[in-house]
C-alpha cells in the first residue's frame, strides 16, 4: 500500500508539473523519460501556483495542511504562490451534499429534518478534514454543523506510513536525521492527526479553549451543543465575524489593525504560558474578527499542550532572547538537555548572537525569516542541538502567528509587544507573586496532608522497621541454608572416607 501511495504521489506531482516548480532551471533526465512514457501532461496551460494548489488538493489532507502553513509565510514564498495557497485555508473542494446528509442520518438514526429545524445543504466552508453547513436547531438556535469527510482515515493512515518510512530512511542516511528526531516528530504529528479525526475530541478542545478565554476581551470560541455531537459530527454555536485576511473590510468597520496584530501576539503568549494549551492551527482560514475587534477561533482539531517544565524553559529562553542575554539562552539550552552537557557556553553564545542580533529593533517587514531559520539550523547542527518533538506544534504555530502579524501590520515590533507579557508572567512564576500563587494552589493539598502527617510518619517508621526485620530474617535464612549445605558436604565426605576405610 505504501508503494502504491508513493507511486500515486509521484504521478500527481508529474501530472501537475511540480518538477518544473521545484527544479525550475534544473531539468532532471528522469522527467524527460517520464515525458516520453507518460504523455498525458503534454500541455500545462494553468499558472504554476494554480497547479501547485490543485496538486496539493489531489494529494489529500496532509499535503493541504502543508500548503495552509506555507500560505501564511509570504516572506518565504513568491506572491503568486502565497495568494493561491491561501485558497486552501477554507476553499478546499467540498464533498457532495448527498454524502453529508447520509452521514448525518446514519449518526442520528433519523431524517435530517427531524434533527434540525433547518439545514443548509450547501456547505459554507470546506477544509482538508471536514466541511461545515449552517443549520437551525429545533429551539431556533443558529448553529454550525461540522461533518467529517468520508473515507478520509485510510488516506491519512497511508500518508503517515509514508512519512514514517521517509523519516526512518532520512535518519539512516542523513547525518542530521537522528539529531532532528524525525521519527519522533512524525509520531507527534500522527498523534494529533488521529485526534483531528475524532470530532468529539475536537468538541472537547473547543469547550476547553472557550473556558480559558471566557469573558476575555481578546478571544472567543463557540459554545458546543453536546447533545448533537458524535465522532463524525460536531455541532456548535454559529459565529459571525469577518475573516481576518479581509483587512480592507476590517478597516471599513473601524477595526484598529495594528492593535489587532498586537492582540494576536498577546493571545499566543497567553495560551502558551498562562494555560499551557494553545490552538495549533491558527492559519487565517480559522480566525475571524467580530465587530468589537475580538478574535474568533474556529477549527479545534489540533491543539498543543505544554508541561510546566516546558513552559519554564521556554519563558526563560524567550525572555533572555528579548533582553539580548545570549549567554542565558545558551545556558538554558544546556541545562534543559537540548544541547550536550559538554557544550562550551561561550562559543554557543557567540553563534546565537551572530544570528539574532541583526534582527532586533526591526519591524517584521525588514526581517527575512527564511535566512534566519537557515542560520539557526546551521547553528543547531554545529552544536548538536536536539529537536524537541513536543515543541514542533508550538514552532508551527509561532510561524503562523508571525505570518499573520506580517499580513496585518508589517511595522509590528514582535519583540517589544511580547517582552512586557513575558516579564509579567515570569514575575508571577518566580518572584514574590509567584510564591504566593503557588502557596495558594497547594493550600488545599496541604490542608489534607498536614493532619495526616503524624500518622504517615509513624506508618513509614513502622514500615522501615518491618523492612529491617524482614531483611534480617532473610539474611538468617540464607545463612542457615549456607550452613546446611556445608554440613551436607561434610557428611558426604565423612561417609565416603568411612566406606573407603571399611573396604580397605
Active-site residue set: 281
Backbone angles phi, psi at 26, to 5 degrees: -90, 105
At residue 334's C-alpha, the angle toward residues 333 and 335, to 5°, is 95
**In a 10 Å sphere around its CB, with 0-12 CB exposed, 13-18 middle and 19+ buried, how is residue 117 labelled?**
middle
Question: Cell numbers of 8, please?
Answer: 500515486
Kind of pairing, strands 233-237 and 142-148? antiparallel
What does the DSSP assignment read for 254-283? T--HHHHHHHHHHHHHIIIIIISEEES---
For cell 552544536, name the residue: 383
Cβ atoms 62, 88 nearer than 8 A: no
Question: Cell numbers of 259, please?
Answer: 492593535
Distance between CA 9 and CA 158 in Å, rounded?
11
Backbone angles phi, psi at 66, to 5 degrees: -60, -45
Question: Cell numbers of 462, please?
Answer: 513502622
Distance between CA 241 and CA 260 in Å, rounded?
14
Other beta carbons within 10 Å of 420 = 11
Distance between CA 127 and CA 461 in Å, rounded?
62
Closest CA to 419 of 321, 340, 491, 332: 321
CA 210 to chain centre: 19
Cβ atoms 367, 355 nearer than 8 A: no
CA dihedral 262→267→273→278, nearest 10 degrees, is -140
Q: Find the radius of gyration of the CA atoms of the chain.
A: 31
Backbone angles phi, psi at 232, to 5 degrees: -105, -5
DSSP-assigned letter for residue 227: G
Amino acid at each position: 500500500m505504501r508503494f502504491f501511495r508513493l507511486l500515486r504521489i509521484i504521478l500527481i506531482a508529474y501530472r501537475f508539473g511540480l518538477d518544473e516548480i521545484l527544479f525550475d532551471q534544473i531539468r532532471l533526465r528522469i522527467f524527460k523519460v517520464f515525458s516520453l512514457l507518460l504523455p498525458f501532461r503534454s500541455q500545462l496551460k494553468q499558472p504554476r501556483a494554480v497547479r501547485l494548489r490543485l496538486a496539493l488538493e489531489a494529494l489529500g489532507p496532509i499535503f493541504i495542511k502543508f500548503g495552509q502553513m506555507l500560505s501564511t509565510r509570504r516572506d518565504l514564498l513568491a506572491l503568486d504562490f502565497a495568494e493561491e495557497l491561501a485558497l486552501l485555508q477554507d476553499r478546499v473542494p467540498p464533498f457532495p451534499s448527498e454524502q453529508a446528509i447520509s452521514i448525518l442520518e446514519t449518526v442520528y438514526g433519523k431524517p435530517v429534518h427531524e434533527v434540525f429545524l433547518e439545514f443548509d445543504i450547501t456547505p459554507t466552508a470546506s477544509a482538508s478534514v471536514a466541511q461545515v453547513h449552517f443549520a437551525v436547531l429545533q429551539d431556533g438556535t443558529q448553529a454550525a454543523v461540522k461533518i467529517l469527510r468520508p473515507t478520509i482515515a485510510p488516506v491519512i493512515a497511508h500518508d503517515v506510513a509514508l512519512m514514517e518510512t521517509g523519516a526512518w530512511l532520512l535518519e539512516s542516511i542523513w547525518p542530521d536525521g537522528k539529531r532532528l528526531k524525525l521519527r519522533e516528530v512524525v509520531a507527534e504529528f500522527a498523534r494529533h492527526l488521529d485526534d483531528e479525526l475524532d470530532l468529539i475530541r475536537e468538541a472537547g478542545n473547543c469547550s476547553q479553549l472557550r473556558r480559558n478565554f471566557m469573558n476575555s476581551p481578546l478571544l472567543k470560541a463557540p459554545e458546543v451543543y453536546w447533545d448533537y455531537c458524535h465522532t463524525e459530527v460536531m455541532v456548535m454555536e454559529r459565529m459571525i465575524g469577518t475573516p481576518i485576511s479581509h483587512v480592507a473590510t476590517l478597516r471599513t468597520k473601524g477595526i484598529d489593525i495594528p492593535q489587532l496584530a498586537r492582540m494576536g501576539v498577546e493571545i499566543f503568549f497567553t495560551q502558551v504560558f498562562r494555560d499551557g494549551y494553545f490552538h495549533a492551527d491558527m492559519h487565517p482560514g480559522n480566525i475571524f474578527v467580530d465587530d468589537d475587534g475580538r478574535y474568533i477561533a474556529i477549527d479545534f482539531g489540533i491543539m498543543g499542550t505544554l508541561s510546566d517544565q516546558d513552559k519554564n524553559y521556554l519563558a526563560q529562553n524567550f525572555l533572555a532572547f528579548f533582553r539580548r542575554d545570549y549567554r542565558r539562552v545558551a545556558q538554558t539550552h544546556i541545562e534543559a538537555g537540548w544541547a550536550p552537557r559538554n557544550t562550551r557556553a561561550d562559543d554557543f553564545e557567540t553563534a546565537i548572537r551572530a544570528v539574532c542580533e541583526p534582527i532586533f529593533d526591526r519591524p517584521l517587514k525588514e526581517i527575512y525569516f527564511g535566512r534566519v531559520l537557515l542560520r539557526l539550523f546551521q547553528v543547531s547542527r554545529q552544536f548538536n542541538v536536539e529537536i524537541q518533538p513536543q515543541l514542533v506544534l508550538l514552532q508551527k504555530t509561532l510561524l503562523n502567528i508571525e505570518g499573520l502579524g506580517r499580513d496585518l501590520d508589517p511595522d509590528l515590533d514582535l519583540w517589544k509587544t511580547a517582552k512586557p507579557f513575558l516579564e509579567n508572567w515570569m514575575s508571577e512564576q518566580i518572584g514574590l507573586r509567584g510564591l504566593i500563587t503557588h502557596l495558594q494552589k497547594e493550600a488545599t493539598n496541604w490542608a489534607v496532608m498536614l493532619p495526616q502527617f503524624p500518622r504517615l510518619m509513624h506508618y513509614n517508621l513502622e514500615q522501615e522497621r518491618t523492612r529491617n526485620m524482614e531483611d534480617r530474617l532473610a539474611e538468617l535464612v540464607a545463612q542457615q541454608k549456607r550452613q546446611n549445605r556445608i554440613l551436607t558436604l561434610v557428611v558426604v565426605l565423612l561417609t565416603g572416607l568411612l566406606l573407603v576405610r571399611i573396604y580397605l
